[in-house]
Structure formats: structure tokens, C-alpha cells
Amino acid sequence: MVQLFTLSKTGVTATSNNYGISGDLSIELKVTNLNEHLAKKLITVDYPCSRNSTRPPKKLSVDLKQQTHGITITGWLEDTPGGTNAVTKKQQLMAMASQNTPNSNVFLTMRAESMIVQIEDMTFDDNWETETTDDTTYQMDTDNVKTSVYGKIGFTIKLVRAKDRGT
């Protein structure tokens, strides 16, 4: 089942990315797979055995009461009829991810939930299915009628958001 998610960011500046993209961006993602996971963040410190001991110190793990909420989404970007093409959407996503001024936070809307996340990693599958007719190569989606011009790019995006669980 395909779900529609949206990634958006305000205040993207052209000087912070290689694409000259600036302004407020909002990209619709067709998501086929969603994987969410929570991981506790622990630190390890040395704890001395006793004052006069010759034994090495013990390791003590401390729970900082913080959990990292990781989200991995897989799907595709597609051409919008009369609008933005998939290649431009990919460039906009990369501009969002490279934006670090004022911060790299993006706004994710999925299902009935909205959250602020950071893009950790993105990979794209730029293999197009093409059909050639009369000296013109069209990028096609196999699910649509072969007469419609259509392009799409597959992606996997890893996002993270930290939740402070308090004390």
C-alpha cells in the first residue's frame, strides 16, 4: 500500500546547497515501506572498585533518559502532471538535507502525525524505465497506460528525532 508523506522546510538558502534552490520547500513522497525504531542512548563511564584496589575500574552504563526515534522510509518521487518533475524533487530533497543554516531540521507529515526530524542519510535509485517512440524517449511507469509520459525516482531516506523522556 502506498502512503503519502510530506517533507517540508522553510528558509532554504541557495548559498547552502549546490542546486541554487532557495525558499520554502514542500515535497510529496510516495512511501511503500516505513520502519520505525527506538534506541536508548547510553554512555559508559569507569567506576573505581575501591581506593586501594589494584583491579581495573568497572564499567558503568548510565541511561541519560533519552531515546532516539529513527525512521526509515522507502518509496519514490514522481513527476507531477503540469508541475515539478522527479529530478527537481530529488534536488530539492538534497538541498533540504544540505541546509545547515539556521539548522538541518525538516518537517515530516505522515499519516495524521507531524514531527520535526533531521535527514541522516538518503539514497536514490535513478534507474528509469524508458520507452522510445518516434525519436522521443519517455520515462514511463509500468503501472500506467503506456501513452502517458511519466518519471519516477526511487529513494530510501533515514530520518532521526530525539525524544527526551525526562527523569
Find the mean pLDDT for residues 78-100.
83
What are the backbone angles phi and psi of residue 89, rounded to the nearest 5°? -65, -40
CA Rg, the chain, in Å?
22
Burial string for 83-121 (b: 16+ CB within 10 Å, else e) reads eebbebbbbbbbbbbebeeeebebebbbeeeeeebebee
pLDDT score for 41: 65
For 110-121, how does the pLDDT look when each residue is reduced to its tens digit (9 = 90+)? 888 889 898 888
For 43-56, how does the pLDDT look when each residue is reduced to its tens digit (9 = 90+)? 677 766 666 667 77
For 108-149, how does the pLDDT look when each residue is reduced to its tens digit (9 = 90+)? 998 888 898 988 889 998 765 544 455 544 444 444 444 444
Find the mean pLDDT for residues 24-52.
80
Domain ranges of the chain: 3-41+67-164
Single-letter amino acid code for the residue at 80: T
Local structure of residue 96 (DSSP, 8 states)? H
- The angle subtended at Cα 78 by Cα 36 and Cα 14, nearest 5°, is 85
Q: How far apart are CA 52 and CA 33, in angstroms?
A: 57
In the structure, what pLDDT confidence band is assigned to residue 24 with cuts at 50, 70 and 90? very high
pLDDT score for 127: 64
pLDDT score for 141: 46
pLDDT score for 103: 61
Residue 104 has pLDDT above 50, yes or no: yes
Residue 154 has pLDDT above 70, yes or no: yes
Residue 151 has pLDDT above 50, yes or no: yes
Find the mean pLDDT for residues 61-85.
80
pLDDT score for 35: 93
